[in-house]
């Protein structure tokens, strides 16, 4: 399928999804969010795709934010709908995707861009990356999950400071605060992410999807994460991947897991 705002390439069970609006610093407009929803859904259903890497085109930005021109004149109700629809269509959708998603953060990840990176399962940044939630400088707050995910990742104090000052942090600060897992040069960013993704592809996609589900359960109100883990653990015992993994271990050979 052809997309207007994104590019997809696939190799060795790894799909790379590139937001391709470099003249707009890859800003998220409604069309791009809709395309990303469709692309993530398509890749998640593809049995050959075991990991998804998302990045931005060009060297300046992962995603520099939302497209402000689209909502500058919205009413209260329109603003609420914008946030609700965006969260459902993309940000919560990515967080709960059964296929692991790695954010390769090149350059600016601001506002909706940082929110997209935070909805991914983990993040790797280039050394020129700058991250922030500057929404209060526009008289609004993060609306795509930023007020919830940033404190989970970096702690309440730093999250409050970042949101209140509307300032950016550099890659080193992001690494030290737990916002990203690694910092590498811009040239190394995609190869490094592909190397990690390659390690992931060796393992059971079924078990990984259940691990994502169980981890996410622990961050949801009213959900017992430990109980979710017990159920997911038990589920794995009924899968072909479990039979293959345990048999391979006992036979002292490398497991050959099928697709999803």
Quick check: is 115 catalytic? yes
DSSP, collapsed to helix, strand or coil, labels residue 1 as coil
CA distance 128 to 171: 7
177 Cα distance to chain centroid: 18
Do 33 and 89 contact (CB within 8 A), yes or no?
A: yes
End-to-end CA distance of the chain: 21
For residue 61, the tally of other CB atoms under 10 A from its CB is: 25
Question: Which residue in 77, 95, 135, 240 is the catalytic one?
Answer: 135
With both helix axes pointing from N to C terminus, report the angle between 156-165 and 146-154 in degrees, rounded to the nearest 10: 130
CA distance 251 to 259: 22
Closest to 90 (Cα-Cα) out of 54, 124, 64, 140: 54
Sign of CA pseudo-dihedral 48, 246, 217, 124: negative
DSSP strand pairing (14-19 vs 61-63) = unpaired
Sheet containing strand 14-19, edge to edge, reads 6-11, 14-19, 51-56, 101-105, 122-126, 182-184
Do 54 and 104 contact (CB within 8 A), yes or no?
A: yes
Question: Which residue in 59, 70, 95, 115 is the catalytic one?
Answer: 115
DSSP, collapsed to helix, strand or coil, labels residue 135 as helix
Quick check: is 59 catalytic? no
Catalytic residues: 115, 135
């Amino acid at each position: 399928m052809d997309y207007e705002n994104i590019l997809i390439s696939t190799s060795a069970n790894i799909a790379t999804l590139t937001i391709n609006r470099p003249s707009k610093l890859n800003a998220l407009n409604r069309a791009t969010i809709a395309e990303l929803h469709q692309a993530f859904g398509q890749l998640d259903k593809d049995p050959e795709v075991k990991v998804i890497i998302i990045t931005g085109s060009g060297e300046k930005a992962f995603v520099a934010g939302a497209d402000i021109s689209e909502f500058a004149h919205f009413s209260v109700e329109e603003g609420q709908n914008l946030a609700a629809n965006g969260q459902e269509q993309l940000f919560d959708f990515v967080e709960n995707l059964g296929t692991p998603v790695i954010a390769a953060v090149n350059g600016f990840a601001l506002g909706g861009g940082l929110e997209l990176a935070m909805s991914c399962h983990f993040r790797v940044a280039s050394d020129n990356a700058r991250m922030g939630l500057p929404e209060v400088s526009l008289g609004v707050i993060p609306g795509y999950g930023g007020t919830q995910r940033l404190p989970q990742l970096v702690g309440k104090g730093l999250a409050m400071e970042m949101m209140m000052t509307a300032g950016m942090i550099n890659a080193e600060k992001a690494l030290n605060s737990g916002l990203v897992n690694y910092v590498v040069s811009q040239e190394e960013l995609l190869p490094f992410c592909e190397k990690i993704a390659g390690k992931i592809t060796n393992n059971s996609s079924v078990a990984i999807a259940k691990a994502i589900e169980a981890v996410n359960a622990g961050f949801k109100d009213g959900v017992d994460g430990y109980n979710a883990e017990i159920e997911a653990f038990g589920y794995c015992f009924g899968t072909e991947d479990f039979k293959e993994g345990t048999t391979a271990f006992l036979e002292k050979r490398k497991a050959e897991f099928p697709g999803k």
